[in-house]
Amino acid sequence: MTMTTARKVELRRGLKDVYLDTTEASFIDGGVGKLLYRGYNIHDLAEQSTFEEVVYLLLRGKLPTPRELEAFDAGLRAERSIPRGVVEIIQRVKDAHPMDVLRTAVSALAAFDPEVKDNSKEALVRKGLRLTAQAPTIVAALERIRKGLRPVEPNPKLNHAGNFLYMLFGKEPDEEAAGVMDVDFILHAEHGANASAFTARVVASTLSDLHSAVVAAIGALKGPAHGGAAEEVMKMVKEVADPERARAYADALLSRGDRVMGFGHRVYKAEDPRARHLRERSRRLGEVKGQPQWFQILQRFEDEIMFPYRAKGIYVNVDFYAGSIYYLLGIPEDLFVSIFALGRIPGWTLQVVEQYTNNMLIRPLLEYTGPMDLPFVPIGQRG
């Protein structure tokens, strides 16, 4: 929203529609629902690529040859362990929200990273890859510890997504589960100047370090207007419980002025292209697991209840179906937003690299609207 104040200052609240810088990370056309990572369509990547290959694409700037990917993947697999000191910190803070634990553990990893102060492009990429490899180990270790179980060591025989589920549940996932997790990570890997990537850029623009930028980004992602929506969607769907109750539930919610989580987007005014891949997988997984009701409830919202909102450019976003997928995989709801973070670390890293490469301190202005030149009365003379 653009507003003009009394002093004729043009305010762009929420920095809506403001271009901050240039990027080669991703292209988004919100009007038609198009998303490219480094020029490649998200649909091709979701259907034909792997998370490891997408990370290579984002951080090395091109698609790898088979040999390049093999060596890159071996490097990622070798970086999955987390220091004992970080596991101990997770044990101490295990009762906090998992995003608080992830944020704290990533912050602690800085103390163990020999390259923490090195902001050269090569070191930033190495650190980003280490964080990409280590973050799933943090989330899985937390889940085990809070259940009173021992953390599971990473299994270098499994790919990134399969290993995450293995460390979370202590058994190798089936192909379907590992495949869904892989696609989910691909879809979350990068997304322009969203609130968390912007936060990471602000931190990088002060010439602080990558760990600080990622810690701050995790904090920004946690909110329900950003990454926290998937958790809220699943809470809503469970409260609805029966597709026949969806309409009454939504009417009550909307008439209170509340929003249906998982709908709407600052940039997309057509369908979020990432939703397509999660919609189909939510349906399939629901059938395989014998729990089709969740998808049926979600469909009621998308096809009936929220249909009229399309005229206002409000469609499903990436979070709408994601929650049901995590739930069907057996992942507790308070871990959902952490999973978004696991996928997004490569995108944050790339944007921090871009920010450093052509840095300019990000420092906007605020228009002051408070009182002016008040007389200061010393504290002893105030009644």
- By three-state DSSP, how is residue 26 classified? strand
Length in residues, the chain: 383
β-partners of residue 4 are 10
Q: In the bound complex, what is the minimum distance in angstroms from residue 314's beta carbon to ligand CMC?
A: 5
Element (H, E) at 28: strand 26-29
CB of 282 to ligand CMC, least distance (A): 16
73, 182, 272, 319: which is the annotated catalytic residue? 319
Cβ-contact 295, 243 below 8 angstroms: no
CB-nearer residue toward ligand CMC: 38 or 265: 265
The answer to whether the CB of 106 falls within 8 A of the CB of 218 is yes
Nearer to ligand CMC, 14 or 85 (CB): 14
Bridge partners of residue 274, in order along the sequence: none
CB of 297 to ligand CMC, least distance (A): 16
Q: Cα separation of 383 and 379, whole Å?
A: 9
Cα–Cα distance for residue pair 33/267, rounded to 1 Å: 9
Question: What's the 3-state SS for 187-249?
Answer: HHCCCCCCHHHHHHHHHHHCCCCHHHHHHHHHHHHCCCCCCCHHHHHHHHHHHHCCHHHHHHH
Structure tokens at 138: 């943090």
- Is 97 part of the annotated catalytic residue set? no
Nearest to 179 by CA among 155, 163, 167, 162: 162
Shortest CB 268 distance to ligand CMC, Å: 8
Query: What is residue 151's DSSP assignment?
Result: P
Asked if 188 is an active-site residue, the reply is: no
The amino acid at residue 43 is: H
Beta bridge partners of 36: 27, 41
Q: Name the nearest CA neighbour of 19 among 192, 220, 203, 218.
A: 192
Q: Which is nearer to ligand CMC, 102 or 318 (CB)?
A: 318
What are the tokens at 302? 């998308």
Point out the catalytic residue in the list 188, 265, 272, 277.
Answer: 265
* Catalytic-labelled residue, pool 226, 303, 334, 373: 226
Minimal distance, residue 173 CB to ligand CMC, in Å: 25
Ranked by CB distance to ligand CMC, the top (closest) residue is 264
Kindly list the residues in this chain that would bind ligand CMC in the complex (CB under 6 A): 14, 191, 194, 225-227, 229, 259-266, 312, 314, 317-319
As given in the structure block, the two tokens for residue 327 are 């739930």
Least distance to ligand CMC, CB of residue 16, Å:
7
The smaller minimum CB distance to ligand CMC, of residues 28 and 285, is found at 28
How far, CA to CA in Å, does 252 sit from each of 4, 240, 298, 312? 36, 12, 17, 20
- Cβ proximity to ligand CMC: between 256 and 312 the closer is 312
Furthest CA-CA distance within the chain: 77
272 is catalytic: no
Minimum Å distance from CB 143 to ligand CMC? Answer: 23
Closer Cβ to ligand CMC, 159 or 351, answer by number: 351
Contact 275, 183 (CB under 8 A): no
Smallest distance, ligand CMC to C-beta of residue 266, A: 4
| Residues labelled as active-site residues | 226, 265, 319
